Structure 1
């Protein structure tokens, strides 16, 4: 099951990786993205993920549904709000895919990241793309992508696929909010995009975009000083 709810300044999304991708899954993520965008990036989105598919298969899936899901994840990945994931236990399927889109990832020591199997091979969705981008050349990622070998919690931490391991996820969420509270809205989204594009953009191509971002900050600072 995938559910979304609003709690004060936080939007909470819960994703159960044991459940297959469905139109309801897509709709729940889209609804959270709609609300976050309407709020202009204030607050944050907390994504609780757990569970992995119990058996190989892709029954009921269509390319159209997968495309809608990937577009919903892309919106989640580019929200003006900060996104924090909390992962527990086995984490595969839609849970893994959502986890890999978030800004900050808290996990328990029981976490195992699992690329699901379908038709006798690993599922070739965009989770493979994000795993490769975020932990390029890592042997654990190669084994996960090719053979479905789980990435254990300590490996995930070492590869920076998760940011911290903890037994107290509530305390970790509070600490994450304190660290990330100074920046939200368009400014956060701009910096996230600059980081993403740095992997594929030359210095010369990136310079203009970075200068534009610097100019935005200077204009904002000048306006604040003048007032």
Structure 2
């Protein structure tokens, strides 16, 4: 019990430290139980966060926290009608200008897995794992089934989705699901370093750069050149004294 209290206090202190970083917006993804992980209330909370970020010109970095459930907790069956809403919200997050970081501490599955996949960086605690249990439950995961192969490769995606269903934090690191594995207590330090490195980045260039990366999977080179030149023109238009 004392260990759990200490871990909770460390997490709260870490979030307070992140909250004080200039330009950082925290998005609370916590769920009280596995059922709440699939609930419309969580989507409503994400939509509220989206609106706050879109209205805050000072936001430079988005941090998703509370990703992960306790081991042995099985996520409930999402309502079919929520999948479209869920994908719409996650796509809106991916189209925002500020880069994003996902903090995973626990079993990351369901919409938590989708958020971690979509973030620009993912920090996982040593006790974390990434799980795709949906096939065993008789249904498909969300659009992660589309993005997973693009992120970690088709063979590893097949192994995770079809054969295994769960990988630990260090396997996730090796596969590219996670970018860093560290104690949850050091999340704040890691986020502060990311915030410092990206503080001077142009939000327009960041947004356009992410879009070009996404398009590189589906666009022919000839089309990509035109998209790049159009994007670069938008960047140059904002630079003082730049030749057009």
Normalising TM by the smaller chain, what interval?
Answer: 0.7 to 0.9
Q: 1:37 to 1:57 in 2, by over 3 A?
A: closer
Q: Answer 1 or 2: which has greater helix percent.
A: 2
Please say if 1:82 is aligned against 2:96. Answer: no
Residue 229 of structure 2: aligned partner: 211
CA distance in 2: counterparts of 1:34 and 1:26, whole angstroms: 12
Decide whether aligned partners of structure 1 residues 57 and 39 sit closer, same or farther in structure 2, where only a CA change above 3 A counts.
closer
Deviation at 1:118, TM superposition (A): 5.9
- What does residue 161 of structure 1 align with? 177
Q: 1:16 matched to which residue of 2?
A: 30
Distance 1:92 1:203, change over 3 A: same
1:168-183 residue pairs with structure 2 within 5 A? 168-183=186-201
Bigger shift: residues 148-157 or 28-37: 148-157
Report what 1:106 is aligned to.
Answer: 123
101-110 or 146-155: which moved more?
146-155
1:151 alignment partner, one of 162, 167, 172: 167
Helix, strand or coil at the partner of 2:119:
coil
Q: Is the 8 A contact 2:29 2:46 kept in 1?
A: no
Q: Distance in 1 between matches of 2:84 and 2:164?
A: 22
Give the conservation status (yes or no) of the 8 Å contact 2:110–2:142: no
Where is the strand percentage greater, Structure 1 or Structure 2? 1
CA 1:146–1:183 in 2, change beyond 3 Å: closer, same or farther?
A: same
1:93-132 residue pairs with structure 2 within 5 A?
A: 93-117=110-134, 120-121=137-138, 123-132=140-149
Query: TM-score, normalization: structure 1?
Result: 0.85
**Distance in 1 of aligned mates of 2:79 and 2:208:** 33
4+ residue runs over 3 A deviation: 5-8, 118-122
- Rounded Cα–Cα distance in structure 2 between residues aligned with 1:56 and 1:169: 25
Equivalent residue runs for 1:38-77 within 5 Å: 38-40=55-57, 42-48=59-65, 49-51=67-69, 54-55=73-74, 57-58=76-77, 61-77=78-94
Partner Cα separation in structure 2 for residue 197 and residue 72 of structure 1: 20
The two structures, once aligned, show a CA RMSD in angstroms of: 2.5
In 1, Cα distance between the equivalents of 2:158 and 2:136? 19
Asked if structure 1 preserves the Cα contact closer than 8 Å seen for 2:106 and 2:125, the reply is yes
Structure 1 residues 153 and 97: alpha-carbon distance in aligned structure 2, compared to 1, 3 A threshold: same
| Unaligned segments of structure 1, at least 5 residues | none
Q: After superposition, what is the alpha-carbon deviation per residue over 1:187-217, rounded to whole angstroms, capped at 9, x for unaligned?
A: 2111111101101111001111101122223
